[in-house]
Structure 1
């Protein structure tokens, strides 16, 4: 692990735990890491992309239904098959058909009750094509293929998840209340709920409209120079490097520099590039600087919209010391196209080892 070293003496050495943003040991975080290791060893959802879980929460449904869908993807619902493996003795037969062993795939996809529900729904789901599929992989594939394809696709996902939810609720009513299985009741109730959920989320969006992200004009409050800084990590060489460019407000280039940075992360290299650029610019006699950076996290920390994590405290400490010396720095997040030339210079430093070099000035 590469630990950032401050250029000033205002930060004391201390022990840090890399798994938390504050650097302090957290019992709940350690327990979460142990659980993740255990699930990986058991092979649960090992083939599901990690971003499926992020896409799931974009579906316009109540959290109780989305949490239920998470349990399906994790295969952790208390089915008879799972309960028997855990030592809780129950009948193995499916509650809704009394023909085969109840499993998560059988209940939601392969049972006669589930096939009747999907056939009667307006989703055109053909369970005959899913004989060899598991419900978690089928569900994750549906989320990946439909999440960002308009309102029709959102309606499909809402209906799909709500029908799964209603099958589970109907199973409980049959098991605990002695109700007779009725696929049509599940279909009609799910359709009614989807209409209510759509209306509720549309009203919520109308009451809380999204802010307008139109471009804003920034008026310079006396900036003397503009600094563009960036870092690059080369996947082939597994090395990182940084570069920066200092321009006067009239557009003339004052300084260009870059350096290879070993195997450090691109985020840490960006911090080193900006501190080095600020120090060199200060030596040229400038004290008011505007930093253009494509790192949103770093911009948030420097603008005090977020508390710095332990690996950012060295950078903040150096900035505080420079501020005490009369240096005023403002940060602005920009897309990578704005600093493309600096990114290219940083890329060069990852291909050829460069200690420190000033590139040709125009």
Structure 2
């Protein structure tokens, strides 16, 4: 048998053996995707193209923190307004001879008043006065008008000390956690973080988490710094914490690094995900078969283009075409996704040739044929 015939025979043997069960580092694309096309598939396969990405982008967010959103900045009044739980220190001045003030000082301090749940404070001889929602000056005018009914020449001085409902709590991730009164109703988030000593610089990808009205809102600190519209007005009673970004996805298969990857920014696309893992392994990976595995909650299932048909979905990206590359830039990776770079079918043949070629003495011939 000639050397060339022996080479052809070896290649044929390699292809035959490669079609059988062969240990390797990653799955071949057709092995995974073909199961989705079986008679009773257990998962859905979705091809990611530029035409499909606008539809896919409307599908539900999945993974950790899937319910967290953020809001845009909204301006409030510059002056602080009185809220339930605030304390009012009221002093009444009067210089009339027949005044209620009889100690000769011409002033009467009233014991501290706490704004009730109904928004009122109780004043002796006057009764309940509604002050919630008023600025300190407006509250003073209202109290003084009430006092004039019994002390015509009275003048009133009011000082407001914010209670919990007119202050915010900064719990963690800053230099000085604590409770901070709002100087006015137009206080922004970054101002509060600055008062609290700033964000801890040792944190990995810090996120600001805000609890308000039983809801949680969260975003990256760098987003707030970069976009003025993200620097929201805080409200009395807000609970703020700065935490590390715990969102992750897994990269497996024929990438350079197979590992758990933390989100490096608020949104990461498929190209970002592969880049974060060091890119594809040039000797093993099949760029036609980049797979993203995702699991949806049963309530997210929406047969048709508006949502996934099945809980488990595999998104397939072909990065050998311009359409696939642009689609990969538009496709957003979600927390807990698995990004898998499948193995090239040629790798199995190369593995067998590497194992047996030197024994038969023809591996160099195969290499020469491939060049």
Q: What is the TM-score when the length of structure 2 is the normalising length?
A: 0.21
**Higher helix proportion (structure 1 or 2):** 1
Which structure is higher in RCO with an 8 Å CA cutoff and minimum separation 6? Answer: 2
**Higher strand proportion (structure 1 or 2):** 2
Instruction: Please tell me whether Structure 1 or Structure 2 has the larger radius of gyration of its CA atoms.
Output: 2
